[in-house]
Each structure stands twice: as structure tokens, then as C-alpha cells.
Amino acid sequence: MVYTPRSARHGALLVGTVAVLGLLTACGNSHDVHSNPPVTASGTAAPATDSTKSPASTTSAPASTPAGASASSPASKPTPTAGGGGGGGGTAPVPDSSRCHTSELSASVGRNDPGAGQENFPVVLTNKSGRTCTLHGYPGAAFVNGSGSQLGPDPRRESGSPTTITLKPGQSAWAGLTYSNPGVSGAETATPAALLVTPPNERDALKVAWSGGTVPVSGNSSSVFLSALSPGTAP
């Protein structure tokens, strides 16, 4: 048996211990390398939690953009279609720029066309201006005496479907003024000096001399009616 001095045995033990510690340290460092989290670069998507995927596969691809459009541009909106004044697609309102104004019109009352106990007069509006304009709806009317006081109530509107009438310079539109013959109806009467005619959507009236005789102003069957405007000067 070979004798080993105590100092030699102590040195060998120290060397072995250092070697074991070195191995343990190396193993610990290797574990730390694999456990460090990946670094997220500024401006990129966050890395996936699955460490088996490559960093490139964790970045979300941007949505496809149509050619010629910017990714940040809002979607194009449909051009609204033109529609009518109501939800059902009725006749569009007449713009103020195209409407015939009182100052652009002249008024007249045509020949009476009586029938079946009725008196029927065409009330005519004529475009005297140098531009094309439009009329839509019913005119207003009122009988007045020589001092300008109104005789009887305002005429009532007959049922109908008004249309927009385009008047070139010199063209006319007419509305029917109708009432029961006072001799038949027994209504109280008066003899007007004039008829005031107001174009649709206007405030100023046109004054027309009245030569149609007596008109009903009160009592039974004394109502006077106006129809919607139609193209021309008479039925």
C-alpha cells in the first residue's frame, strides 16, 4: 500500500471539489441562456408565446389594400341619389332660383264656360319675363270691392295632383275658378270690382278687373273652388 501524505490528499480533494463546482456552474449558465425572454423590437408585433416559432412568423401581416388606395384612407361612401321631397319619391321641391315670382307674371281671367248650374272661369298666369321659370301647385285668389276689402271667404282647393309646369317667356298656365250659380243655389251675392291672384309660393298678388257679374259670398252653396295649375290658357 502506497502511503500518501496528508497534504497531497487534501490538495486532491480540493481540486475535485472545484471541478464539481465548475460543472454545476456551467450547467446553470446553459439553463439561463435558454430561459431569457426574446426582445421585442420597437414597431413590431409582440413575439408569440410558442418558443418554437421563429420571430418572423409572429408578425401579423397587414390587411390587403386595393390598388391605388392608402391603407389609412376611409372606405368610399356611396353617392347619395337624388330623391323626392317625401320618402315615397314624390315630385322634388321647386328650387327658388327656378320659381316664377309675382313680378315676372301677369294675370287674367278668361271667358266663363257655364254648365250644370256651375260658373267656370280660367284664371291665367303668363310668364312676362325674359327667363324660363316654373309654377307648382295652386294659386291664391280673393274677390275684392272697389275699396279693396275682401268679399266672401277664400276659395277652397279642389282635390288633385299638382305638377311642376315650366313656362318659357310668353307661355301660360291656368287654374279653374268654379262656384255654383247664385240664382240656383240661393246664396247671398256681391259684385266684385277685382280678383286678386297670388302665384304659388308667393306673397304679392296681381289685381285683375272682374267682369263676371255677381258671385256668392255667404249662405248655402257659396263656396268658391280653385283647381291646381295646368299648362295653357283654358281647358
**pLDDT per residue as tens digits for the range 13-58:** 444 554 444 444 444 444 444 444 443 333 333 333 343 444 444 4
pTM of the model: 0.60
Domain 102-231 in this protein, CATH class: mainly beta
Kindly indicate the confidence band of residue 95, based on its pLDDT and cuts at 50, 70 and 90. Answer: low
Between these two residues, 217 and 10, which has the higher pLDDT value?
217
What is the pLDDT, as a whole number, of residue 99? 96
The residues spanned by each domain of the chain are 102-231
Between these two residues, 215 and 52, which has the higher pLDDT value?
215
Name residues whose C-beta falls within 8 Å of residue 235's C-beta, 6 or more positions apart in sequence.
113, 122, 176
Kindly indicate the confidence band of residue 121, based on its pLDDT and cuts at 50, 70 and 90. Answer: very high
